[in-house]
Amino acid sequence: MLFDTHAHYYDQAFDGDRDAVLASLAEAGVGLVLVPGCDLASSRQAIELAERWPFVYAAVGVHPEDALGLPEDWLAQVEDLAQHPKVKAIGEIGLDYYWKEVPHDLQQEVFAAQLALAERLDLPVIVHDREAHADSLATVRRFPAVRGVFHCYSGSAEDAKTLVRLGWHLSFTGTITFKNARKAPEVIRQTPLERLMVETDAPYMAPTPYRGKRCDSRYVYRMAETIAALKELPVEEVVRATTENGKRLFGVE
């Protein structure tokens, strides 16, 4: 059974066949899915999906791209949403310096506030880190009691070693299957299997040979296959380990 630990099924890309896709996952060997919010509205949508589908769980939070124009009580709203029994993490939160519209200091303020919330609620976090590796690492170091996963990991092998030493997990999307993947193979080879997870980040970044298509959880097996090849392990062992890692981190039975 595979666990897709990051998929945005509220995205409009699924408006035409969302229920059909979710209903097909069990037959494809996918037994668990975690849907992270990116803002207050999508966090509520993630919870609604988790309420409708027994194998779907939610995370709630504010993505760095959505940090502008938040209401004064935004953090209280995230905290309120996090009380739902199927919410298993605070996320997707973090830093994204690729997009210039949101000032770095505001991103850092929103990120730190949600890490503090996760610490208070004793929940793991799902971190988005794009072109902000040094600041992302520095920020999570400020909260040594908080654990979680750097999703769609794109940092260096050295930063990966540091994160693993600090107790964090790393998760990988379809980009690891691309021919031009460079850093990820080295990171995967060196990272202990018990700290790895797989995800699709659906509807984005479909793996080879589906690159360019809309992604969904039926493709997550390609990430497990790629990790197995890089670590020279049976695919079944990687499937079992990554699923157990996700269940343990997110407190899913």
Write the pLDDT tens digit of every residue in 114-169: 999 999 999 999 999 999 999 999 999 999 999 999 999 999 999 999 999 999 99
| Alpha-carbon span 55 to 132, nearest angstrom | 33
Q: What residue type is assigned to position 112 of the chain?
A: A
Of all residues in the chain, the percent with pLDDT exceeding 90 is 98
pTM attached to this predicted model: 0.97
Measuring CA to CA, how many Å separate 126 from each of 139, 158, 160, 231, 234?
14, 20, 15, 24, 27
Number of helices and strands (H, E) in the chain?
A: 9, 8
Dihedral of alpha carbons 221, 88, 195, 164, sign: positive
- Inform me whether the pLDDT recorded for 10 exceeds 90: yes
Alpha helix positions (H), the chain: 18-24, 40-52, 74-81, 104-121, 133-141, 157-165, 183-190, 221-231, 235-250
pLDDT tens digits along 151-160: 999 999 999 9
Average predicted confidence (pLDDT) for the chain: 97
The encoded tokens of residue 191 equal 């990272």
Three-state DSSP state, 172: strand
| Contact (CB, 8 A) for 125 and 113 | no
